[in-house]
């Protein structure tokens, strides 16, 4: 008796056939293999590395493939202080990422400028990029980053994938 | 070979240009009265006194007093393990002194940083351009009259800045207030940064009356 609204599969009854909606399937593929583009700019990058290492293991969520190329990644994790000098480079790399793409602002500096209310620090990366999940902390624990990743997965799962596709008449 | 001996050697060579070595917590400081001779003094220090390592060059903005800039050279020698501090003053109208990149190559970036942050030019520098901020940034951020939050600016295609919000920030004290009540963050008026600037200028003046030096007691000069 299937009560899940996600992918329903009873191997005894259905064998190797899965009944689901296309939206759900595509979102399931996407959320379980979110390849990060680590924009590790400062100290938060160390916690990002820790999340990628064995103890906290971001690989459990399919995100161990830290592609430093924007063309091959899905989610940009802005980890660290974004200075005005660096802001144009971050925006350029975000523009080079292929759709669909998401952004996690990791840490206080990326979310709001953090403790640096100064002439050289961009007061939050959301002034130049559309952020999906903000993580607070200075730096956030790796578990907090994994929690953010799980929240992002929840957001990706709810995306109306078919509705967003362009229709050709 | 102690730092004091090095300072005295310097004084013997350059005479009145160099002040009496002052000592503070076992560190020796000498003042150079003519900033124009800095390259000559440093060349002598490297060749004859074995000071082969320039640890740092930094600058102070004495806002409210003249001369406005104090440039400080931290010198060290690997052979004799002695540190020496060399200070020199430059007035705001001039804002220029010779470079020491001919003596120590490392001075290149230190002087670029001083130029970027304070606006002090170094004559003869091989490549004097901004190092922390970008080309075209119109201000000198570490001057005392520049607000911490910054000012808006835009260099198309390169960078932009906006003022960072300091209003309502609960944890910012007023530097230079005479008492802890005056420094209390909740006293701060966000509309005017003049409050803070004038507080600092007044404090400097008071310190100078009491100690004869705008930064406090300062090093004790050895007779």
- How many structural domains is chain B composed of? 2
Mean pLDDT over residues A68-97, rounded? 95
Q: Give Cα A23 to chain centroid, integer Å.
A: 19
Which of A87, A88, A119 minimises the CB distance to B164?
A119
Same domain, B9 and B115: yes
Say if residue A162's pLDDT is above 90. no
Same domain, B23 and B111: yes
Q: Determine, yes or no, domain membership for B216.
A: no
Same domain, B167 and B95: no
Token readout for A12 is 């005894």
Pick the residue from chain B with its C-alpha nearest to A85: B159
- Return the number of CB contacts < 8 Å for A and B: 43
Q: Do A88 and B164 touch (CB under 8 A)?
A: no
Same domain, B103 and B201: no
Same domain, B105 and B58: yes
Identify the three-state secondary structure at position B56: strand
Mean pLDDT over residues B83-91, rounded? 95
For residue B79, the model assigns a pLDDT of: 92
Say if residue A89's pLDDT is above 60. yes
**Distance (Å) from the C-alpha of residue B159 to the closest C-alpha of chain A?**
6
Token readout for B7 is 């300072």
Q: Determine, yes or no, domain membership for B130.
A: no
Q: Which helix or strand (DSSP H or E) is residue A95 part of?
A: helix A84-96
Q: Determine, yes or no, domain membership for B142.
A: no
For residue B147, the model assigns a pLDDT of: 87
B176: left (phi over 0), alpha (psi -120 to 50) or beta: left
Q: Determine, yes or no, domain membership for B73.
A: yes
Same domain, B112 and B7: yes
B123, B139, B171 - which closes a domain:
B123
Q: What is the CATH number of the domain that holds B74?
A: 3.30.460.80
Going by the DSSP 8-state scheme, the letter that residue B165 receives in this structure is P
Q: Determine, yes or no, domain membership for B143.
A: no
Mean pLDDT over residues A75-94, rounded? 95
Q: What is the mean pLDDT of chain A?
A: 89
pLDDT digits (tens, 9 = 90+) for B1-55: 789 999 999 999 998 899 999 999 989 999 999 999 999 999 999 999 999 999 9
pLDDT digits (tens, 9 = 90+) for A130-155: 999 999 999 999 999 999 999 999 99
Q: Determine, yes or no, domain membership for B110.
A: yes
Same domain, B95 and B197: no
Q: Are A42 and A82 in contact (CB under 8 A)?
A: no
Q: Determine, yes or no, domain membership for B190.
A: yes
Q: Report the alpha-carbon distance of residue B134 to residue B162 in Å, rounded.
A: 15
pLDDT band at A101 (very low <50, low <70, confident <90, very high): very high
Say if residue A27's pLDDT is above 80. yes
Of the residues B140, B143, B150, the best mutation for testing chain A's interface (the one with the most A CB atoms within 10 Å of its CB) is B150
Token readout for B78 is 């690997």
For residue A29, the model assigns a pLDDT of: 93
Same domain, B106 and B164: no
For residue B204, the model assigns a pLDDT of: 78
Q: Which helix or strand (DSSP H or E) is residue A15 part of?
A: none
| Helices and strands: H and E segment counts in chain B | 5, 10
Q: Determine, yes or no, domain membership for B136.
A: no
For residue A155, the model assigns a pLDDT of: 95
Same domain, B111 and B180: no
Mean pLDDT over residues B208-213, rounded? 78
Mean pLDDT over residues A156-167, rounded? 83
Same domain, B22 and B107: yes
pLDDT digits (tens, 9 = 90+) for A116-135: 888 999 999 999 999 999 99
Q: Do B164 and A123 touch (CB under 8 A)?
A: yes
**Does residue B135 sit at the A interface (CB-CB below 8 Å)?**
no
For residue B82, the model assigns a pLDDT of: 93
Q: What is the pTM of this model?
A: 0.78
Q: Are B11 and B21 in contact (CB under 8 A)?
A: yes
Same domain, B174 and B105: no
User: What does R_g of chain B's alpha carbons equal in angstroms?
Assistant: 20
β-sheet with A75-79: strand ranges across = A36-40, A75-79, A102-106, A133-135
Residues 6 or more apart in contact with residue B137 via CB below 8 angstroms: B130, B153, B155, B159, B161
Say if residue A169's pLDDT is above 70. no
B103, B123, B143 - which closes a domain:
B123
ipTM for the assembly = 0.76
State which residues form the domain around B103.
3-123
**Distance (Å) from the C-alpha of residue B151 to the closest C-alpha of chain A?**
7
Helical axes A142-157 vs A22-31, angle rounded to 10°: 160
Say if residue B218's pLDDT is above 80. no
Same domain, B113 and B167: no
């Amino acid at each position: 008796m299937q009560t899940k609204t996600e992918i329903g599969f009873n191997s005894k009854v259905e064998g190797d056939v899965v009944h689901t909606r296309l939206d759900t399937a595509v979102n399931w593929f996407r959320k379980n293999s979110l390849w990060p583009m680590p924009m590790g700019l400062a100290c938060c990058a160390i916690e990002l590395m820790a999340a990628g290492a064995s103890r906290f293991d971001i690989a459990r969520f399919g995100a161990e493939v830290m592609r430093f190329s924007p063309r091959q990644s899905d989610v940009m994790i802005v980890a660290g202080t974004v200075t005005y000098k660096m802001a144009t480079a971050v925006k350029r790399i975000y523009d080079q990422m292929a759709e669909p793409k998401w952004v996690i602002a990791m840490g206080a500096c990326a979310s709001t400028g953090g403790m640096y209310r100064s002439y050289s620090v961009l007061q939050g990366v959301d002034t130049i990029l559309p952020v999906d999940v903000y993580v607070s902390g200075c730096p956030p624990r790796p578990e907090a980053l994994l929690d953010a990743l799980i929240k992002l997965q929840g957001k990706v799962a709810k995306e109306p994938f078919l509705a967003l596709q362009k229709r050709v008449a | 070979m102690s730092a004091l001996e090095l300072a005295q050697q310097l004084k013997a060579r350059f005479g009145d240009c160099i002040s009496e070595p002052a000592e503070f917590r076992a560190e020796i400081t000498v003042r150079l009265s003519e900033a124009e001779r800095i390259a000559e003094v440093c060349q002598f220090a490297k060749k004859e006194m074995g000071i082969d390592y320039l640890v740092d060059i930094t600058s102070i903005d004495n806002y409210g007093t003249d001369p406005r800039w104090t440039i400080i050279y931290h010198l060290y020698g690997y052979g004799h393990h002695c540190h020496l501090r060399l200070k020199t003053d430059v007035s705001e109208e001039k804002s220029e002194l010779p470079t020491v990149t001919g003596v120590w190559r490392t001075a290149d970036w230190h002087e670029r940083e001083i130029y970027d942050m304070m606006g002090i030019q170094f004559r003869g520098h091989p490549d004097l351009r901004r190092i922390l901020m970008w080309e075209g940034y119109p201000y000198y951020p570490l001057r005392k009259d520049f607000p911490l939050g910054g000012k808006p600016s835009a260099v198309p295609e390169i960078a932009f800045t906006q003022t960072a919000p300091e209003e309502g920030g609960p944890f910012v004290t007023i530097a230079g207030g005479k008492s802890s009540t005056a420094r209390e963050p909740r006293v701060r008026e966000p509309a005017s940064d003049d409050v803070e600037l004038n507080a600092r200028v007044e404090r400097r003046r008071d310190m100078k009356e009491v100690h004869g030096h705008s930064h406090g007691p300062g090093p004790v000069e050895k007779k």
